[in-house]
Amino acid sequence: MHKVDDLIVWKKSIQLAKEIYVLCSKIPDNEKFGIIFQIKRSSVSIPSNIAEGAGRNSNKEFKHFLGIANGSCYELQTQLILIKELNLTDSISEIDILIEQCVEIQKMIYSFKSKI
């Protein structure tokens, strides 16, 4: 088992999820059950799966949940690109920063998985 609050990748993914919630408040309400629902779900899934994996009994199980977290991170990146391309917010530079954070987390997860 790993102590989740010692994991930098978990801390960064928590921060990313918080920033996604802020971004969602800037997206039109008519997307509440569309992209907003999906983007919130995938952003929360990243730290949640890292935490679930950290609490498992083996490194093999942990790697499995890191893989799921990474998939959610790619899903989130795709949704951010869609928000940008559909012009659902004026916060284009903010979205670019969030996409960069996704890429950083993806790299961290990949690196972490290879070290376990």
Rounded Cα–Cα distance for residues 48 and 36 (Å):
18
Q: Global pTM?
A: 0.93
Q: What is 4-115's CATH topology?
A: de novo design (two linked rop proteins) (1.20.1440)
The encoded tokens of residue 58 equal 């083996």
As given in the structure block, the two tokens for residue 69 are 């977290």
**Model pLDDT for residues 88-114, shown as the tens digit of each residue:** 888 889 999 999 999 999 999 999 999
Summarize the confidence of residues 2-23 as an average pLDDT: 95
Q: What is the residue extent of each domain of the chain? A: 4-115
Q: What is the CA radius of gyration of the chain?
A: 14
Are the beta carbons of 73 and 49 closer than 8 angstroms? Answer: no
Whether 49 and 69 have beta carbons less than 8 Å apart is answered as yes
Please report, for residues 20, 26, 34, the alpha-carbon distance to residue 94 in angstroms, rounded to integers and kept in the order given: 10, 11, 20
Residue with tokens 């989130």: 76
CB 2 within 8 A of CB 62: yes
- Taking the chain, what is the end-to-end CA distance rounded to the nearest angstrom? 11
What are the pLDDT digits (tens) for 33-56? 788 999 999 999 999 999 999 999
